Amino acid sequence: MLGTTLILAVREIRRHLLRSFLTILGIVIGVSAVVTMVTLGKGATAAVQTQIASLGSNLLQVRPGQGFGRGGGGPQPPDFKEEDVQAIRDQIGGVTAVAPQAQSTGMAVRNAANWSTTINGTTNDYFIAQQWQLSTGRIFTRAEEQAGKAVCIIGSTVQANLFRREDPIGQRFRIRDLSCEVIGTLATRGQGGFGNDQDDVVIMPIKTVQRRFTGNRDIRAIMVAVDPAYDTATVQQSTQQLLRERRRITGDKEDDFNIFDTKQISDTLSGTTTILTQIVTAVAAISLLVGGIGIMNIMLVSVTERTREIGIRLAIGAVAREVLMQFLVEAVALACLGGLIGLLIGLIASLSLAPMMQVPFLFDPRINLIAFAISALIGVVFGYFPARRAASLNPIDALRHE
């Protein structure tokens, strides 16, 4: 009986194609919007996590000030000293690498090519903390670090703009008034967590940058890599207490430095992206409700149009259950058809928009199955009342209907 009922339902849908399409339009829009929003939301979350992870995992970033910058009005907090770096290295347990940083900017020039870039003075611990491999060349020697030699390791952006397709190892270029020898090139990383190009950098020994560019021995930032076996929150608290003592911050005075845990930043941004995705998805899901109301409305109109047909079926022996099943199957078939079309449109939209938004396309079969199941459920819920109304018609009254 179910097979015959399904054939009758498909035949009825085909008889009124335009009306059937308009009936399922709400379901199509709702399902496609939900699938698109969830898919792009997952891609955006993954992109955020990847960008934050590029800053380094199990990594604490220590900077002067109370935010990402150096604070607002009032005196600027002092930078760190080499003694602070050594104290963290010697007195804090669970630390695998401590990398001081002194930063500046400058114009890099080679032959007719020039490029404005970031100059990062640091030590070999920087590559350990950042988990950043070299694509060619080598890192600094101990003698180069201690003497502040004019050697450098360049990112792929600097390499592409100064050396084009040439091998830069062993060659020299000028940055400001310093001639620097290239001893290594960094593996490509791309955009960082805050939209900056991580590959647009020239890395030198910190003493070189302090002597030739910043003019002092101050350290702008400290990167602390934490052993995965240790709790980063505990290491962060210990580092905070040590720096408070060294910077003579007592009592209830606020810190004049900040410590960022990259894992906390990743969790916060990922959670925010997830919440926004859920809100947008909930708004999009309202279209499913509207689509269900549209199905119920059209099915009620269909019952009125086919009252004589219903009366004839009841008069020749059909039971109310069979009439109810016929109209209920029609409603579910319409909803399922809308769900399938919505899934197809949602996948096409996701595939098209993901590259434009620069996020990965992450196909989630679970959300697709859930969206389709909800569309079928809507057909049952909103189709039951019209089907029940058709099944409850009196055969005599139905036959008299004009």
List the domain range (segments joined by +) for residue 321: 2-51+267-400
330 and 211 inside one domain: no
Which of the residue ranges 94-103, 301-310, 392-401 has the most confident prediction, judged by mean pLDDT?
94-103
Integer angstrom CA distances of residue 238 from 253, 337, 357: 17, 60, 40
Kindly report the pTM of this predicted structure. Answer: 0.63
Which of the residue ranges 169-173, 303-307, 368-372 has the most confident prediction, judged by mean pLDDT?
169-173
Q: Identify the domain boundary among 174, 208, 230.
A: 230
224 within 8 A of 173, measured Cβ to Cβ: no
Which of residues 388 and 12 earns the better pLDDT score?
388
Q: Does 258 map to a domain?
A: no
Q: For the chain, what is the mean pLDDT?
A: 84
Nearest-angstrom CA–CA distance, 246 and 16: 81
125 and 223 inside one domain: yes
Q: Does 356 map to a domain?
A: yes
Mean pLDDT for the stretch of residues 170-196: 85
100 and 226 inside one domain: yes
Contacts of 136 (CB under 8 A, 6+ apart): 167, 169, 184, 185
Structural domains in the chain (count)? 2
Tell me the backbone φ, ψ of residue 260, rounded to 5 degrees: -105, 130
Q: Does 90 map to a domain?
A: no
Provide the pLDDT for residue 70.
47
Reduced to 3 states (helix: H, G, I; strand: E, B; else coil), residue 361 is coil
Q: Does 78 map to a domain?
A: no
Reduced to 3 states (helix: H, G, I; strand: E, B; else coil), residue 149 is coil
Q: Does 262 map to a domain?
A: no
Exposure of 337 by Cβ count < 10 A (0-12 exposed, 13-18 middle, 19+ buried)?
buried
278 and 391 inside one domain: yes
Q: Does 261 map to a domain?
A: no
For the record, the structure tokens of 86 come out as 């050594």
Q: Is the dihedral of CA 375, 15, 320, 395 positive or negative?
A: positive
187 and 289 inside one domain: no
389 and 282 inside one domain: yes
Q: What is the pLDDT of residues 209-227, one digit of tens each?
A: 999 999 888 899 999 999 9
331 and 272 inside one domain: yes
For the record, the structure tokens of 158 come out as 């600097």
Q: Does 8 map to a domain?
A: yes
Q: Does 184 map to a domain?
A: yes
225 and 173 inside one domain: yes
